[in-house]
Amino acid sequence: MFVAEDLQTVRERSRIEDVVGAVITLRPGGGGSLVGLCPFHDEKTPSFRVTPARGFYYCFGCGEGGDVIRFVERNQNVSFVEAVEYLAGRIGVQLRYTDDSGPRAEPGLRMKVLEANRLAAEFFEQQLRGPQAVAGRQFLDSRGFDQASAEHFGIGYAPKDGRALGEFLRKNKVEDDTMVKAGLVRENGGWDFFQGRLLWPIRDAGRSTLGFGARRLFDDDRLPAKYVNTPETVVYKKSTVLYGLDLARANIAKKNQAVVVEGYTDVMAAHLAGVDTAVASCGTAFGEEHARMLQRLVGSTDVRNGEVVFTFDGDAAGQAAALKVFKLESSFTTQTYVAVEPSGLDPCDLRIQQGDAALRELVGRRQPLYRFVMANVIAGFDLDRPDGRLQALRAAAPLLSSIRDASLVDGYLRDLAQMLGMDVNEVRREAGAQRRRATRRPEPAATAPDAPALIEVSRLPVPNPRDPRLEPERGTLRLMLRAPEMFAADWNGITAAHFTHPAYRAVFELLGAGDRTAPDWPHSLLGPDVDQVVERLIAELSVEDILREPTLAYAAEHTNQLRLLALSRQIDQVKSKLQRTNPVDEKAAYGKMFQELVALEAARKDLRAAIV
Ligand code: ZN
């Protein structure tokens, strides 16, 4: 984690309206707030509000909300630490790290590497225009990309001489150590990592260059692989980078759709053809981490709304790839689709041979992934014969038993029954038997946790903001957030017991324990460990309209309301107990309770009088 003052500096100096404003257009929305179209869900009228004075954003449409750090986390799909690093880089703050969070990359290395990458991308782009890069330009031309497209995607060329990049970076004051750690220069001998190759810059959603993908151009290339990527660095992790994300991110959020293709040229072709939600994994198969990233980008409040479309070849390799993704599907809550081109052309070739419209149609023809996989599995059996159908069923049933989301299974069962031409109950029986066999075997240790940190998990229910019975609790918290100085040091004696809704109680517990005199109240309370629902409530209560000028009297009014409600609950409890107590057999207990009731009623009467 970071030194506390640094974190505070980043919070204070990062203007939320600028950070959000770089992603969506904000317009004045009255009361010092700004409004815009939510980047996290699809909407036509703006319900996304930013309140610069309070440093919070909140969407009244989908409930997404938080501070500027949270916005970066969500918008760029990064961790809390990375979001703070990004913001620090933006405003030029050098972060210091405490080492209690275990071994960490050296301070500032991430920023140094990003800067080296930025310079390298610039250098490579320039080189592509030079006389040496004819082969690179010819390749692009042969794949249907003109100069404007090459510039749009920032394509570059690494010269063959093997020292040019290192020299360029040195001239731009990049340390040798940083070049090596960025994976741009080899440690032994100081040779450029990429030589004589065509390069695609791989960026994050915020357009920082994380690394490069490089294609072989020359027969005398010492690296035999057709494609080579930046090795793993502090910023480049192949399991979490997606090529095209910088260009696709906003469209993915807007359309609740992501299209996954296989290569750099496929991403380019897709975007140029109008499929502007296309991304590809780089130098590795599409995996769980990628699935989670896309899920976060595609997902709206209704997770069933989004779709992730994979394009595969119809051939055996494509079928195997589809099966692999199907096994990942546990990590998708969105619907997963597959778009198969019958001619076997990849998106790039399809665009060259049949034009942009053909590529858009390919995506338009998508079918649910599970149907594609099941159809492939049963294709090898003779469905005209009863034993063939049974064998096909036995082959396909394990697919069904691997689906974790029980609500989907029934639909899949029906589809499978239809494909096989069998009775749905027979199919259900077989799948059930398979599932029982599968669960009897001990599960292998999970390699990835079921609830990864990036997916929002909260056990707290979300309160209905318009529930009149909860308004005193909500109103009190709103005041505590917006005008803590209107309360006495002990928060007017309010305790967690005054809150009936668990989420409100959790907010109170966080606020009540915090330092309300801190200049960045309540931001100082937020961090990666704060419950999502709690953080969103804090954001929501911080940006929503406040009904009256906060005064001491207003705060006292809220306090009394909470007390009154608590008293009434106590009275109800005692009354109910009294009813269950026999006044003759348990005379002493009854008398004591009766006394208690009288005292509580008197207190309530006094409180009521005080309120009026
Ligand atoms: Zn929203």
Q: Where are the domains of the chain?
A: 4-91, 109-236, 242-379, 468-611
Q: Of the segments 94-108, 426-440, 484-498, 533-547, which one has the largest average pLDDT value?
A: 484-498
| Per-residue pLDDT at 443 exceeds 70 | no
**Quick one: pLDDT band at residue 323, thresholds 50, 70, 90?**
confident
CATH class held by domain 4-91 = alpha beta
How far does residue 7's CA lie from ligand 1's centre (Å)? Answer: 27
How far does residue 372's CA lie from ligand 1's centre (Å)? Answer: 33
Which residues does residue 201 pair with via DSSP β-bridges, in sequence order?
212
How far does residue 260's CA lie from ligand 1's centre (Å)? Answer: 24
Into which CATH architecture does domain 242-379 fall?
A: 3-Layer(aba) Sandwich (3.40)
How far does residue 334's CA lie from ligand 1's centre (Å)? Answer: 17
Residue 193 near residue 185 (C-beta atoms within 8 A): yes
Which among 70, 91, 72 is positioned nearest to 6, based on CA atoms? Answer: 91
Torsion of CA 395, 399, 401, 404, to 10 degrees: 180
How far does residue 331's CA lie from ligand 1's centre (Å)? Answer: 22
Digit-coded pLDDT (tens) for 506-539:
999 999 888 888 878 888 888 888 888 899 999 9
Q: Which CATH number fits domain 468-611: 1.20.1740, 3.40.190, 1.10.860, 3.30.460?
A: 1.10.860
Digit-coded pLDDT (tens) for 372-424:
888 888 888 888 888 888 889 888 887 777 666 677 778 888 888 998 888 88
What is the edge-to-edge ordering of all strands in the sheet holding 278-281?
A: 242-243, 278-281, 257-261, 307-313, 335-341, 367-368
How far does residue 195's CA lie from ligand 1's centre (Å)? Answer: 45
Digit-coded pLDDT (tens) for 384-398:
888 888 889 888 887
Q: Give the C-alpha separation, 405 to 462, whole Å.
A: 23
Into which CATH architecture does domain 109-236 fall?
A: Alpha-Beta Complex (3.90)
Q: Which residue has the tokens 């005692």?
A: 574
Residues sharing a CB contact under 8 Å with residue 37, sequence separation 6 or more, in sequence order: 24, 25, 43, 44, 46, 48
Which residues does residue 311 pair with via DSSP β-bridges, in sequence order?
339
pLDDT of residue 284: 86
Helical spans, DSSP H, in 379-468: 386-401, 406-420, 424-440
| Per-residue pLDDT at 101 exceeds 80 | no
How far does residue 28's CA lie from ligand 1's centre (Å)? Answer: 18
How far does residue 306's CA lie from ligand 1's centre (Å)? Answer: 14
How far does residue 48's CA lie from ligand 1's centre (Å)? Answer: 6
How far does residue 64's CA lie from ligand 1's centre (Å)? Answer: 6
User: What's the residue count for the chain?
Assistant: 612
Q: Do the domains 242-379 and 4-91 match in fold?
A: no
Higher-confidence residue of 455 and 274: namely: 274
How far does residue 54's CA lie from ligand 1's centre (Å)? Answer: 19
How far does residue 408's CA lie from ligand 1's centre (Å)? Answer: 26
Give mean pLDDT, residues 460-478: 90
How far does residue 39's CA lie from ligand 1's centre (Å)? Answer: 7
